[in-house]
A and B are shown apart, each in its own frame.
Chain A
Amino acid sequence: MEPLIKVRDLYKIFNIGSNKVYALNGVSFDIYKGEFIAIVGTSGSGKSTCLNMLAGLEAPSKGVIQIANKRIDRMNEAQLVRFRRQNVGFIFQSYNLIPSMNAIENVAMPLMFRGVGHEERMKAAKHYMELIGIGDQSMHMPNQMSGGQQQRVGIARALVIDPQIIFADEPTGNLDSHTTADVLDLMKRIVSEEQRTMVMVTHDPHIASWADRQLKVVDGHIVETVINESSPIEIKIKEENGEPPFCEVTGS
């Protein structure tokens, strides 16, 4: 089995005055199709920087990021936009719905960027909203919905382009614990049912435990990797490759 995402010796160095700050200090790991990965760490650990680089929102200082056999660290901004449009769904902490559009238009928006016609994209949006269980709220404006509902719209929007990878940046950060559980269950169900790959960033170890595999980041190093042994996809990877997914654990 070939990994979908390959990261090798990834560095992100910020120059603050004359000091160099290592936000990410050489991490290497693989992610396979169908996995639900959680990158866990405290604030400032470099977990968000790592996610941003995987999504092509920030350029790495050094290192290799290969997604579906494409070197995204070598792409320019226009290519990255195109890459995201074709392959990547994104779930934000603060939902980031467009306030002037209703729910279904928000869901359909990424398809609009692809130039899909109005009718076709509304059909696709409707399908995913029903899949997620908010089919009845398609005409609501974002400010008429609760946080949990808005995040579901956000999830539907991430799914609508049929992406290979979904990135989620603290997707439950603004939700109460009850809704958090609902949303995480939903995300997990989507990943396993639809055979998606999801990379989620969180600071909360409890939330991270929903994932198939956790990468714990401290000061720019991956210090521990936790595999959920009961997860079907992890079992499958181990069976096929004879070893667990590659992840270089460094530091203390």
Chain B
Amino acid sequence: MRLYDLFKLALSNLKRRKTRTFLTILGVVIGTASIVVMVSLGLGMSQMMLKSYQDEGSLTMIRVYESYERNDSSEKNKQLTELTDDNVERFRALDHVVEVSPALDVSVSAKCNGAESDFTIRGVSQYYLSQLKLRECGEIPKKDQNELSLIYGNQILYNSFYKTKTYESMEIDPYKDTIFLTFPASDYSEKRSNSDSESDTVKKQKKYIIPVSGILSGGKDDWSENSYNAYADIDTLKKFLRKLYKKALVPAPRTTKNGKAYTYYVYDTIYVFVDDMNNVKEVQKQLADMGFSVNSNMEWLESAQQQLGMVQMVLGGIGGVSLLVAAIGIMNTMMMSIYERTKEIGVMKVLGCDMSDIRNMFLFESGIIGLMGGIAGLMVSYLISFIINFLTSDNGESVSMFIGYSEGGSLSYIPLWLAAFAIIFAIAVGSVAGYVPAVRAMKLSPLAAIRNE
């Protein structure tokens, strides 16, 4: 028998019992929609999470800190695990490492229009700077410029300046307002005997006006790992600091046993950039094995995603149960229809219809139920998804605050593969549910046709 004829026969059989077909399809619609919506919620959440992590900082970046849990604090080991330029080079030699940036932190106080703030100037490499997202007008400080220039994190400008007396928050525009920076006094001096008194030091502190090179993109409500710091090119910063602190290099240098300041830089953090998200874990492990304390956003993302994976499975399971019920519905409908059509099936067998054709005809019928249910279910899912996203977006402020996701993105996300999967799965469920009835129909005796009631 031709496939087309089989299909047409199946379709006309379904048309004969419209109400029952409709109700069975309705079951599949509900089943499919609940699976798709549930999975879409899981996907949406995971996507949102990924996005929020990406907003906060690069997922391919590993932060390396000096490890403080050292039992054998011998001098040699200590040197090995200090964050020095030597170690920067060692990290650079690792597989999958694209770039390594040390970070030299100097905390400064700032004054502007009668408001005060404290923040950190972080000297980083050109590569790190190039990863920062700036507002349109700004640019990255050049590598070999003579004068220090800064990129301000957006949060410094919006949320860190307070009026000295009223503690009132103030917004600053570094392009218009002049910011006076005070660098901390060196707490190291080569001649300890004649160290100045505290008050003296304060008096001596000089105020600097440092040109603005750019501002990180993002408004008042955008936070990221970077938004509370100011950034500078590390080499320029080093040069600048050397003028201030001479041989000590930094305000609070480490000292050797005999009280001399280190002659090399020890960084607070080193950033290691990896070529791909999937290699982060591997590189991170290598760094940890070298005795450093490490973390990455990827690490957090992974554990968060593991938890979310569980949630997704539970959600999918709930949807799955309703599709299972729908499958039982299909089976029931097909069984009924076989009992009703016993005679007809017998006639077809007497007239020479192949057993496999009879089976296929019933499989087609249940498959069509699955297909139609799948398509309608998908449309319903898109509708529900739209409503969910509408309610959780800005238009439904109260709901979104309750759920806790308001920053763009959508809570329910139906990718194309999910749509395709849903329809194929619905057809498969229909066919599987129809299989037992179809085989039963195939095995019916043709004698039923002869019997006369």
Contact = CB atoms under 8 A, between A and B. Distances in A.
A114 B450 contact: no
Contact of A112 (B1, B12, B343, B349): B1
A93 B347 CA distance: 12
A81 to B, nearest CB: 6
Nearest to B449: A96
Nearest to B352: A85
A101 B8 CA distance: 11
A81 B450 contact: no
B13 interface: yes
Contacts of A82: 352, 354
Interface in B346-405: 347-355, 357
Contacts of A100: 12-13, 15-16
B344 interface: yes
Contacts of A77: 355
Report the interface size class on chain B.
20 to 34
Contact of B352 (A52, A88, A94): A88
B443 to A, nearest CB: 9
Interface string B437-453: 00000000111011010
A84 B355 CA distance: 13
B2 interface: yes
Contacts of B445: 57
Contacts of B353: 81, 85, 113
B452 A113 contact: no
A169 B348 CA distance: 16
A95 B1 CA distance: 23
B352 A114 contact: yes
Interface string B320-349: 000000000000000000000001100111
Contacts of B198: none
B201 to A, nearest CB: 101
Contacts of A57: 350, 445-447, 450
Interface string B6-21: 0000001101100000
Contacts of B354: 78, 81-82, 85, 113
A171 interface: no
Interface in A106-128: 109-110, 112-115, 117-118
B350 A55 contact: yes
A157 interface: yes
Contacts of B351: 84-85, 90, 109-110, 113, 157
23 contacts: A52-B447, A55-B350, A57-B445, A57-B446, A58-B447, A81-B352, A81-B353, A82-B352, A84-B351, A85-B352, A86-B352, A92-B347, A92-B449, A93-B452, A98-B347, A99-B16, A100-B13, A100-B15, A100-B16, A109-B351, A112-B5, A113-B1, A115-B1
Interface of A: 48, 52, 55, 57-58, 77-78, 81-82, 84-86, 88, 90, 92-94, 96, 98-101, 109-110, 112-115, 117-118, 157, 161, 169, 173
Given A117-B2, A173-B452, 20 more contacts: A52-B450, A78-B354, A81-B352, A84-B350, A85-B351, A86-B352, A92-B347, A96-B343, A96-B347, A96-B449, A100-B12, A109-B351, A110-B351, A112-B5, A113-B351, A113-B353, A113-B354, A113-B357, A115-B2, A157-B351
